[in-house]
Amino acid sequence: MQFVLNGETQDMSSGTTIQDLVNMMEVGTRRYAVERNEEIVPRSLHAQTIVNDNDQIEVVVAIGGG
């Protein structure tokens, strides 16, 4: 299966979830948001939201500063 993650084409096995992607990116405890096909995916749905072939996924990590 192929999809686009933050602008780059990725190959992944079918059944991959948003949570799998976040874990792979090692986001850890930082604040982040995930968008799939231009729609925000609530964090409560990350573990059950399957990434489909040709999905467009954006993972944005918040950066603090002053």
DSSP string, 19-53: HHHHHHTT-TTS-EEEEETTEE--GGGTTT-BPPT
Q: Phi first, then psi: give them for residue 49, nearest 5 degrees.
A: -90, 115
Q: Tell me the pLDDT tens digit for each residue of 39-52.
A: 999 999 999 999 99
Q: Is the pLDDT of residue 61 over 70?
A: yes
pTM: 0.86
Angle at 4 between CA 57 and CA 55, to 5 degrees: 60
pLDDT attached to residue 66: 62
